[in-house]
């Protein structure tokens, strides 16, 4: 299991790092852990609400609120929240790398992105970090997550089929809502594949900065 190694990262931080930048590094580092926990929370709530929705539809729910729509909103909202949170986690990595490498003085610049980090790695022979970023961005999960979040944030909500009347009930997105072909539209499968594909890469990319000195 990959874990973040803060002690190694602190060893390679610039000695002239300002107190403000050190504060931002600490907050960015802590945010990685918190967002990971948020993903786990939304996953658990998705599973719980989907189960309750199914029981409510069948009239078997032993809860005060028995309206199936209440739980449908719950599992749909937590699914979207999971994907957006995981996407934010992945796309926040350039921010902490910029602080570690001290590329741009303006740490809050909107121009701090993957392209900036990769160009810096190329020009400074930082091979391991560059290789890991490239590997992560080639994963189908990386591109599928980006597309899913882009649609749900900037275009429209994705429709969900609860699947309750199918042979193997499971919530899934509608294929016609996507421009590109996904490996699966089963929401729980997507959550698990995206998280277990991308989360370790996020940690490995960050940890690799501690070995570049």
Residue ranges making up the domain that contains 35: 6-154+188-211
| 45 within a domain of the structure (yes/no) | yes
| 85 within a domain of the structure (yes/no) | yes
Cα-Cα-Cα-Cα torsion 74, 77, 78, 80, nearest 10 degrees, comes to: 160
Q: Supply the pLDDT for residue 10.
A: 80
Give 172's strand partners: 161, 186
| 165 within a domain of the structure (yes/no) | no
Provide the whole-model pTM: 0.92
Q: Supply the pLDDT for residue 191.
A: 98
| 171 within a domain of the structure (yes/no) | no
- Taking CA atoms, 85 is separated from 33, 53, 63, in Å, by 12, 23, 29
| 167 within a domain of the structure (yes/no) | no
Q: For residue 193, what are its two tokens?
A: 């594949």
| 176 within a domain of the structure (yes/no) | no
| 109 within a domain of the structure (yes/no) | yes
- Taking CA atoms, 173 is separated from 45, 129, 147, 185, in Å, by 18, 34, 13, 5
Give 161's strand partners: 172
Give Cβ neighbours of residue 158 (< 8 Å, ≥ 6 apart).
80, 148, 151, 152, 173, 174, 177
**What total number of domains does the chain contain?**
1
Task: Point out the residues of the chain with pLDDT beneath 70.
Answer: 1, 212-213
Residue 202 and residue 32 in contact, taking contact as beta carbons nearer than 8 Å: yes
| 21 within a domain of the structure (yes/no) | yes
pLDDT digits (tens, 9 = 90+) for 163-175: 988 877 899 999 9
Q: Supply the pLDDT for residue 1.
A: 65
């Amino acid at each position: 299991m990959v874990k973040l190694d803060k002690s190694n990262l602190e060893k390679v931080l610039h000695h002239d790092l300002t107190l403000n930048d050190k504060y931002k590094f600490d907050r960015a580092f802590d945010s990685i852990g918190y967002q990971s926990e948020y993903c786990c929370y939304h996953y658990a709530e998705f599973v719980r609400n989907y189960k309750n929705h199914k029981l409510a539809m069948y009239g078997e729910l032993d809860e005060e609120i028995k309206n199936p729509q209440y739980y449908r909103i719950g599992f749909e909202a937590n699914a979207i929240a999971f994907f957006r949170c995981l996407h934010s986690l992945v796309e926040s990595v350039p921010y902490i790398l910029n602080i570690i490498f001290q590329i741009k003085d303006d740490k809050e610049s909107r121009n701090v992105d993957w392209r900036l980090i990769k160009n810096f790695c190329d020009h400074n022979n930082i091979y391991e970090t560059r290789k890991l970023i490239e590997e992560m961005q080639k994963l189908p999960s990386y591109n599928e997550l980006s597309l899913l979040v882009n649609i749900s944030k900037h275009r429209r909500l994705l429709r969900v089929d609860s699947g309750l009347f199918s042979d193997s009930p499971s919530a899934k997105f509608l294929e016609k809502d996507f421009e590109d072909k996904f490996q699966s539209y089963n929401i729980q499968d997507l959550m698990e594949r995206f998280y277990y594909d991308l989360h370790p890469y996020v940690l490995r990319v960050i940890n690799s900065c501690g070995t570049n000195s």
